[in-house]
């Protein structure tokens, strides 16, 4: 049994992840900003904890993470407001990494997106620019830490049921993958030490998840 913190615990990927982890016997703490979402989280078997990650200091996040074995970042500002996007997707994410290190929680899985990189090529006048910049900065920072990190790079997210199968490629073409399968990949990565120190870009595909991500 692992004790896992899911940051952004009411997101669609996160709710799937919480169900998967609790079903296999893990103890899951799901951090949520809005206490009205607690019932949805509790229904997955996870323990909801109200924590406004955007406004917590590194020390405060450290206190929240202490005593756990792993962190999954599945939070996001949701777009539309560049200032909040940088505040959540970059700054709060980076604080959570520093907090994980301070709390002695070495395992850290980042849910990013396919194509996230510093040379992302998104024009500055594009509404996606702030998110691309924020995720690139957070992912790069994570790679410089001493955490046992994994960066997941799913393609366009869909609401289709999961298939349990994906395709991993060094430079996959643009594609899509269900949120349920993204959650399954995150869960599998947590239990697979060969994913540590790797960035895993993926879309829906023919290969069972555990085999596809294994190094």
Helices (H), 47-145: 58-65, 82-85, 93-103, 129-144
Q: Rounded to 5 degrees, what are φ and ψ at 65?
A: -80, -25
Confidence of residue 172 (pLDDT cuts 50, 70, 90): low
- When pLDDT is averaged across residues 126-132 and rounded to a whole number, the result is 90
Enumerate domains of the chain plus CATH numbers.
3-213 (3.40.50.720)
Is the pLDDT score of 80 beyond 90? no
> d(Cα 212, Cα 204) in Å, to the nearest integer?
11
Contacts 24+ apart (CB under 8 A), 138-143: 138/89, 138/90, 138/93, 138/94, 138/97, 138/110, 138/112, 139/110, 139/112, 139/199, 141/93, 141/94, 141/97, 142/93, 142/97, 142/108, 142/110, 143/199
| Range name among 91-100, 112-121, 135-144, 145-154 with the lowest pLDDT average | 112-121
pLDDT tens by residue, 46-62 = 999 999 999 999 999 99
- What's the pTM value of the predicted model, to 2 decimals? 0.96
Is the pLDDT score of 121 beyond 90? no
pLDDT in the model for residue 123: 83
- Nearest alpha carbon to residue 94 among 118, 110, 117, 78: 110
């Amino acid at each position: 049994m692992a004790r896992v913190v899911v940051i952004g615990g009411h997101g669609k990927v996160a709710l799937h992840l919480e169900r998967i982890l609790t079903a296999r016997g893990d103890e899951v703490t799901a951090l949520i900003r809005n206490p009205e979402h607690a019932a949805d989280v509790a229904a997955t078997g996870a323990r909801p904890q109200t924590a406004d990650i955007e406004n917590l200091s590194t020390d405060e996040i450290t206190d929240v993470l202490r005593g756990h074995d792993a962190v999954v970042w599945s939070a996001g500002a949701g777009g539309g407001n560049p200032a909040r996007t940088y505040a959540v997707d970059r700054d709060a994410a980076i604080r959570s990494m520093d907090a994980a290190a301070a709390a002695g929680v070495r395992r850290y899985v980042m849910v990013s997106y396919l194509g996230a990189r510093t040379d992302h090529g998104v024009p500055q006048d594009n509404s996606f620019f702030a998110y691309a910049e924020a995720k690139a900065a957070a992912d790069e920072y994570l790679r410089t830490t001493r955490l046992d990190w994994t960066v997941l790079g799913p393609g366009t997210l869909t609401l289709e049921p999961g298939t349990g199968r994906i395709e991993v490629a060094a430079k996959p073409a643009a594609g899509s993958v269900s949120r349920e399968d993204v959650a399954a990949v995150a869960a599998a990565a947590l239990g697979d030490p060969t994913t540590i120190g790797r960035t895993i870009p993926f879309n829906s595909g023919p290969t069972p998840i555990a085999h596809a991500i294994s190094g």
